[in-house]
Structure 1
């Protein structure tokens, strides 16, 4: 096992639905540490950079509109095996495949508005932490 840092973002629907406390509590109860956090509003430029792999998909305009619809809560989460551990807690990106007990499985019923983002690799975690925290 290795000590890792990962980037986690609570999306606008999590903020609007007042799920921040519940999700943060799950992260901390699992034994992970939130070492940096901030509420921020994203613009279309940073959304295009963050989701560059999705720019050519027909759903990208809807995703961009959603992600700029309200504030997000950005976090750096640290701990043993934090990247894979958080991805398991988050659940499948397709919410209809997300298992009960995962964050998406418990709180999401929409593919676009799926409550939370988490880095999927050490390389992407480093890029995303730099992107959102400088």
Structure 2
């Protein structure tokens, strides 16, 4: 959770989202997922997003032209009953919202560590 940028006091939010995700796995006996057996409905898989993902919560209130249209925060959980996302805003408030834009940053240019190769020591000749 600390790697996600979330404080340990939000463990219950992350745990409930993990349980919701686990309840989407079908059982071998009934071929239906436990959530579907209890609620008679399913949750689409594209509803699930990574916890700690930066998001923008869009506000439904009328704003002036140059005012911000929403707030930034981090995804901390899912609300299956409302089919909405739980977001911790940058000011510390936790809100439920369906109007969420996910700020998935491009990772194409990021450098992944290469654990397979042995690195040569950096010397003046190698430069």
Would the TM-score normalized by the shorter structure come out above 0.5?
no
Bigger radius of gyration among the two:
2
Q: TM-score, normalised by structure 1?
A: 0.29
Higher relative contact order (CA 8 A, sep 6+): 1
Q: TM-score, normalised by structure 2?
A: 0.30
